Structure 1
Amino acid sequence: MVVHGLWIINKAGGLVFQRNYAEGLSSLTANEYLVLAGTLHGVHAITSKLSPTGKGSGVQVIEGEDFKLNIMLTLTGTKFVLITSLPHPNPESTLQKVYEAYSDAVMKNPFYTLEMPINVNGFDERIRTIVASTVG
């Protein structure tokens, strides 16, 4: 039950936050993370159009052999992507806690500019605490 990483992607598809929290993820360059975030943003947009009802919210889970990506789309278009091990018990709850920390620490910060990389004091520590509390 490991959280490997967290990405926050803005509504335009730009990666505004990326951290790895456990060993096991490949080391990527900053540019490779940006490309992956943009690709995931595009895949999410395409899959939201594939719903037979026309009201789809896009892909929410991508599962590999030994990892899982959970994607939470907010009303503002920001995407939170949590990369976990397969047996993680409740990634949706973890994403909700991350979103609450983001809303409280980042969005209430008068010095943060929307759609820009997140460098807000205390946000990293709050996320580390959330991630540590999910390890069982």
Structure 2
Amino acid sequence: MVVFGLWVINKAGGLVYQRSFADGLSQLTANENLVLAGTLHGIHAITSRLGPTGSSSGAQVIEAETFKITILHTLTSTKFVLFTSLHDVNAEPLLQKVYEVYADAGMKNPFHAPEMPIRSEKFDTRIQALLGSTQA
């Protein structure tokens, strides 16, 4: 499995954390990342309203020709978005581990305000250790 990148999107649709692990996402500018994260937030909001029986949990996996986007939507409406290789089967458990790192290293930081950009060296280090090791 190859992880291309990770986004954390707050409940308002703002990109609060972005990390690239392979060449694909590193070609995007900071502004492009912000716009795309907001667009993905909108798509998720729309898909959560669609469904044959009413509302749903929204898009969880989006597959393209060469990559896959997996979305974990938390109870606080924070979204964790993982960009991986197309044939990855371990994205969901990996996103759960990212969420655990966020809860432990991000939210327990006394200088971090919810919904604001995550600027924690401890969080960065743990995410790099978790996702950086997935490169094939």
Q: Give the TM-score of the pair, scaled to structure 1.
A: 0.94
RMSD (Å) for aligned C-alpha atoms = 1.3
Greater share of residues in helix: 2
Partner SS for 2:25: coil
- Structure 1: unaligned runs, 5 residues or longer: none
Using the TM superposition, name which of 49-58 and 92-101 deviates more. Answer: 49-58
Partner amino acid for 1:28?
L
Q: Which amino acid aligns with 1:11?
A: K
Partner of 1:126: 126
Partner residue, 1:34: 34
Which residue is equivalent to 1:85?
85
Work out whether residues 60 and 71 of structure 1, in 8 Å CA contact, stay in contact via their aligned partners in 2: yes
Query: Cα distance, 1:79 vs. partner?
Result: 0.2
Q: Equivalences for 1:66-85 in 2 at 5 Å?
A: 66-85=66-85
Structure 2 letter corresponding to 1:72: L
Residue aligning to 1:106: 106
Percent identity between the two aligned chains: 66
Determine if contact 2:20/2:26 at 8 Å carries over to the other structure. Answer: no
Q: Which amino acid aligns with 1:69?
A: I
Question: 1:18 aligns to what SS in structure 2?
Answer: strand
Count of residue correspondences? 136
Which letter maps to 1:112?
H
